[in-house]
Amino acid sequence: MQSFTALVRPPGTRFSQAISEHPQKKGIDQPRALIQHQSYVDALKQVGGKILPLPTADLLPDSTFVEDTAFVFGETAFLCSAKEETRRNEVESIAKALKDHLKIVNLEPHMDGGDILNTPQAIYIGLSKRSNERAIHSLSQKIDKEVISVPVVKGLHLKSAVSYLGNNVLLIDPERVESDAFKNFQWIEVEGKDSYAANCLALGNQIIMPAGFPKIHEKILQHGFEAVELEMSEFEKADGGVTCLSIILP
């Protein structure tokens, strides 16, 4: 079982005002989101995680999506600068929590951590509504690993459509990204009504995934991984996924 630390923050009282293009965004249920978030934390503990909890930030509706604020690589946390003005104040409290554990480096605007996919071969960064070439170049100049930009055709972030599971295997919805960048990987294709399941969190051999996608679940098992399913309905309504709710530290 992999040993890691996960920084998390529960959804605050204004979570229902999170930025979202989901058709059910007006139906976000904050109390239910709190229950689902606790199940997420319990799952992280189940697969070997130590939890670094932050208190709710009630004035910041999207603050539970901590992944977007920082990218952890080795012993360094690269702080992201959000394009959305309502999200820019999220970074300060994250930086305070991380500075006791990691070196802190600031990136040029604008980038969300949800666009950054780290694989053994390279770091892939989505060129999306939230991340631009300037920020991608900024990271590439500060890190000793190949950085490859990937246009996001549909959806919010690169990791909304692509997850690295391990053993050279990707979960990918090829209709939502310029998928040629990933031709050297083995694919589990996730399309159509199953597209939300493309965002999963791999922790060693354990894959935390949204519940309700039996075909994808079975394919993950067939590739030798184990899967933990979680109800994610309220976070889906807020355009968030499994990876969005944590920053994983070594």
For residue 240, what is the domain's CATH number? 3.75.10.10
The per-residue pLDDT for range 97-136, each reduced to its tens digit, is 999 999 999 999 999 999 999 999 999 999 999 999 999 9
Q: Which one of the listed residues 37, 80, 200, 244 is annotated catalytic? A: 244
* Number of domains making up the chain: 1
Residue 1 has a pLDDT of: 65
Among candidates 94, 118, 122, which has minimal Cα distance to 106? 94
Contacts of 88 (CB under 8 A, 6+ apart): 81, 82
| Residue ranges for the chain with pLDDT beneath 70 | 1
The per-residue pLDDT for range 63-99, each reduced to its tens digit, is 999 999 999 999 999 999 999 999 999 999 999 999 9
Q: Which one of the listed residues 37, 80, 157, 200 is annotated catalytic? A: 157
Among candidates 155, 74, 157, which has minimal Cα distance to 113? 157
Residue 66 has a pLDDT of: 98
Q: Give pTM, 2 decimals.
A: 0.97
157: annotated active-site residue = yes
| Count of alpha carbons within 13 angstroms of residue 46, beta-carbon side | 15
Q: Which residue has the tokens 């991608």?
A: 136
Q: Which domain holds residue 101?
A: 4-249
244: annotated active-site residue = yes
